[in-house]
Amino acid sequence: MVQTQNSYKNLVTKKTDNPPILLNCMKAFVVGGFICVIGQALSYFYMYFFDFTEKTVGNPTVATLIFFTMLLTGFGFYDRIAQFAGAGTAVPVTGFGNAVISAAIEHRTEGYVQGVGGNMFKLAGSVILFGVFSAFVLALIKTILNLWGN
Amino acid sequence: MVFLSAFIIGGLICVIGQLLMDIYKFTPGHTLSILVVAGAVLGSIGWYDALIDFAGAGATVPITSFGNALVNGALNEADQHGLIGVVTGMFEVTSSGISAAIIFGMIGALIFKAKG
Amino acid sequence: MNKGMVILIVSVLSLLFACNAGENNETQTNTVTPINIEKGTDDINGTLSKQATAILNKKNDFLSSYKILESENELIIAIKVDFFQQFTEQKIEKKLEKELKEKLHTKKIKVSSDEKIYIEISKLENNEFTNTEKKKKFTKLKKLMKDNA
Nearest CA in chain B to A90: B28
Long-range contacts of residues A146-150, Cβ cutoff 8 Å, at least 24 apart: A147/B83
Q: Give domain status of residue B55, yes or no.
A: yes
Domain count of chain A? 2
Q: Give domain status of residue C82, yes or no.
A: yes
Q: State which residues form the domain around A100.
A: 2-119
Q: Give domain status of residue C69, yes or no.
A: yes
Q: Give domain status of residue C10, yes or no.
A: no
ipTM of this predicted structure: 0.89
**A92-110 pLDDT, tens per residue?**
999 999 999 999 998 988 8
**C30-58 pLDDT, tens per residue?**
445 566 554 444 444 457 778 888 888 88
pLDDT at C24 exceeding the cut of 60: no
Quickly state the pLDDT bin for C4 (edges 50, 70, 90): low
Q: State which residues form the domain around C33.
A: 29-146
Question: DSSP string spanning C29-79?
Answer: -S-PPPEETTTTTT----HHHHHHHHHHTT-TTTEEEEEEEEETTEEEEEE
Q: Give domain status of residue B116, yes or no.
A: no
pLDDT at B65 exceeding the cut of 50: yes
A111 in the same domain as A97: yes
Q: Give domain status of residue B34, yes or no.
A: yes
A76 in the same domain as A27: yes
| Chain B residues within an 8 Å CB radius of C23 | 1
Q: Give domain status of residue C48, yes or no.
A: yes
A140 in the same domain as A69: no
**B2-15 average pLDDT score:** 94
Domain count of chain C? 1
Q: Give domain status of residue C93, yes or no.
A: yes
Q: Does C2 touch chain A (CB under 8 A)?
A: yes
Q: Give domain status of residue C19, yes or no.
A: no
Spatial distance between the Cα atoms of B89 and B85, rounded to a whole number of angstroms: 6
Q: State which residues form the domain around B78.
A: 2-111
pLDDT at A4 exceeding the cut of 80: yes
| Sheet strands side by side (includes C109-112) | C35-36, C63-71, C74-81, C109-112
Q: Give domain status of residue B58, yes or no.
A: yes
Report the percentage of chain B scoring pLDDT > 90. 54
3-state secondary structure of C141: helix
pLDDT at A17: 65
Q: Give domain status of residue C50, yes or no.
A: yes
A111 in the same domain as A55: yes
**B31-52 pLDDT, tens per residue?**
999 999 999 999 999 999 999 9
Domain count of chain B? 1
Q: Where are the alpha helices (DSSP H) in chain B?
A: 2-22, 28-44, 47-55, 57-60, 64-81, 84-92, 96-111
Residues 86-115 of C with CB under 8 A from B: 86-90, 113
**A29-88 pLDDT, tens per residue?**
999 999 999 999 999 999 999 988 888 898 999 999 999 999 999 998 999 999 998 899
Most B CBs within 10 Å, among C87, C94, C115, C148, to test the B interface: C87
Q: What is the mean pLDDT of chain A?
A: 89
Provide the shortest C-alpha distance from residue C73 to chain A (in Å). Answer: 24
Between the alpha carbon of residue A61 and those of residues A28, A129, A146, B27, the distances in Å are 21, 23, 33, 27
pLDDT at A150: 73
